[in-house]
Amino acid sequence: MYTNSSFVHATMVTLMDEPVHEMISGTRVTRGTRVTRGTRVTSEERGTRVTRGTRVTAEQQGTRVTCGTRVTRGTRVTRGTRVTAEDRGTRVTRGTRVTAEDRGTRVTRGTRVTAQERGTRVTRGTRVTAEDRGTRVTRGTRVTAEHRGTRVTRGTRVTSQERGTRVTRGTRVTAEHRGTRVTRGTRVTLQERGTRVTRGTRVTSGTRVTGGTRVTCA
């Protein structure tokens, strides 16, 4: 005869040893998953954890999903997001709609993002298409970043097709080569390396311009 504690222990051991096919708070669960609080889940691999009213198809191990999200394959999603993650390790936070097609994409705070390559980070109310690695976008920007290492900050619209382009503060920029830097409310088409443009200028190709000028350099 069991005491209360020994009875509970024996019950827990029995549940852990058997396959999980039982209803827990209105949930449907398959194959060794853990689910809490009114969720519907189809998990095709072990160790998937799902919490709080989510619908999830988890096709790989170790997926964690919280708060009303739809997620596929090995992603971690928090707080009211809708996400299609087609590869592992994507992290998405706070009310975002994201299509992350490769690893390590991080998206935060009310963004719409298509990230097709690794290591893309997007923050704060941005719409971004990042097609290659290491693109970082911050604060209310619309950006198409097609190559590595592009950084964009503060309310900019940017198409950067090569590495290392940096754009800051309310600019519209098409940067087609490396190392282009643009600052403060400029519209720029930069077709050569290392061009720097500041303060409300329009520039084409290989020039340095300062102080509210419009310049065309062939």
More confident: 166 or 47: 166
pLDDT of residue 19: 37
Of residues 26, 4, 7, 27, the one with CA closest to residue 15: 7
Average pLDDT, the chain: 55
User: In angstroms, rounded to a whole number, what is the distance separating the alpha carbons of residues 215 and 209?
Assistant: 8
User: In angstroms, rounded to a whole number, what is the distance separating the alpha carbons of residues 114 and 101?
Assistant: 8
- Give the whole-number percent of the chain exceeding pLDDT 70: 0
Least confident of 20-29, 87-96, 185-194: 20-29
24 three-class SS: coil
Least confident of 45-54, 101-110, 127-136: 45-54
How many helices (H) and strands (E) are present in the chain, helices listed first? 1, 24
Residue 70 has pLDDT above 60, yes or no: no
CB 113 within 8 A of CB 127: yes
Domain ranges of the chain: 1-74
In angstroms, how far is the first alpha carbon of the chain from the final one?
A: 92
**Would the pTM count as exceeding 0.75?**
no
Residue 62 tokens read as 């170790």
Q: Could you give the count of Cα atoms lying within 13 Å of 55 in the half-sphere of its Cβ?
A: 3
CB 58 within 8 A of CB 48: yes
User: In angstroms, rounded to a whole number, what is the distance separating the alpha carbons of residues 149 and 64?
Assistant: 29
Residue 185 has pLDDT above 60, yes or no: yes
